[in-house]
């Protein structure tokens, strides 16, 4: 494939940092039992969704009655933010070196997360990533829905000054893949322990190791 890409956008949860398993456990054991009055949603009903989108998703499901309002639902997540991002999150192996290499090669770099900006800032602080990206976009930095809607990636591309078709997105969830591909980006899906059973088939490429991700990105972006 000819190198046609000028930017790379990374998802946060499940790509930049491994938090997918932690959030899935918290949603299954804490959020859903507290939020649902009646009904049993599918196991992955809100996986990888932003908090407000997760609330809207649950409200839309047939047979589900919620026991909490939106603010209380948000609080169920806020109670666990420090646990996830300050204690349990780990940075992708080799990630800092990968970012430095891509930046040296002249790529514009973005962090595009369905998480709230305040949560993103915790990760940027903890892993000293503030200067690693040209642009950072969280769910509340845009108007309208987050992933799987393409708007967040379209916004990121605009802020990076590149066309979506010139951008590679690295994702780990069906919702993220849907957002990136609908925006017109080339999407690499990273499979790991936290998304071992997820359907990633809509991505252009699926890799299972950070080393393979690095190789794929270099092949796509090296001029």
Tens-place pLDDT, residues 153-199: 999 999 999 999 999 999 999 999 999 999 999 999 999 988 888 89
The answer, yes or no, to whether residue 32 has pLDDT greater than 80, is: yes
pLDDT in tens, 52-63: 989 999 999 999
Q: What single-letter DSSP state applies at residue 115?
A: S
The least confident of 4-13, 35-44, 86-95, 131-140 is 35-44
The answer, yes or no, to whether residue 1 has pLDDT greater than 70, is: no
Query: Distance of CA 114 to CAs 34, 52, 70, 154, 193, Å?
Result: 22, 10, 17, 13, 20
Can you give the pLDDT at residue 64? 97
pLDDT in tens, 97-130: 999 999 999 999 999 999 999 999 999 999 999 9
Q: What are the structure tokens assigned to 110, written together? A: 């973005």
Mean of per-residue pLDDT scores for the chain:
94
Residue 40: helix, strand or coil by DSSP?
coil
- Ramachandran assignment for 151, one of left (phi > 0), alpha (psi -120 to 50 degrees), beta (any other): alpha
Buried b (16+ CB within 10 A) or exposed e, 108-135: bbbbbbbbbeebbebbbeebebeebbbb
Can you give the pLDDT at residue 3? 54
Helix (H) or strand (E) holding 7: strand 7-10
| Residue 49 binned pLDDT confidence (cut-offs 50, 70, 90) | confident
Can you give the pLDDT at residue 57? 94
Q: For the domain 7-18+91-221, what is the CATH code? A: 3.40.50.1000
């Amino acid at each position: 494939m000819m190198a046609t890409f000028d930017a790379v956008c990374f998802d946060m949860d499940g790509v930049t940092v491994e938090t997918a398993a932690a959030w899935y456990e918290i949603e299954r054991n804490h959020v859903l039992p507290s939020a649902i009055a009646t009904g049993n949603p599918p196991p992955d009903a809100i996986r990888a969704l932003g908090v407000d989108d997760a609330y809207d998703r649950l409200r839309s499901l047939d047979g589900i009655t919620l026991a909490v309002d939106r603010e209380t639902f948000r609080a169920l997540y806020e109670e666990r933010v420090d646990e996830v991002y300050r204690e349990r999150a780990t940075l992708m192996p080799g990630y800092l070196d990968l970012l430095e290499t891509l930046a040296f090669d002249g790529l514009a770099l973005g962090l595009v997360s369905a998480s709230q900006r305040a949560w993103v800032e915790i990760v940027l602080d903890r892993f000293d990533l503030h200067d690693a990206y040209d642009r950072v976009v969280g769910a509340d930095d845009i108007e309208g829905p987050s992933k799987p809607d393409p708007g967040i990636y379209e916004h990121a591309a605009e802020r990076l000054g590149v066309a979506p078709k010139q951008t590679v997105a690295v994702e780990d969830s069906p919702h993220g893949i849907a957002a990136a591909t609908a925006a017109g980006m080339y999407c690499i899906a990273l499979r790991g322990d936290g998304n071992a059973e997820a359907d990633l088939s809509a991505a252009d490429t699926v890799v299972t190791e950070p080393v393979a991700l690095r190789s794929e990105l270099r092949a796509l972006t090296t001029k």
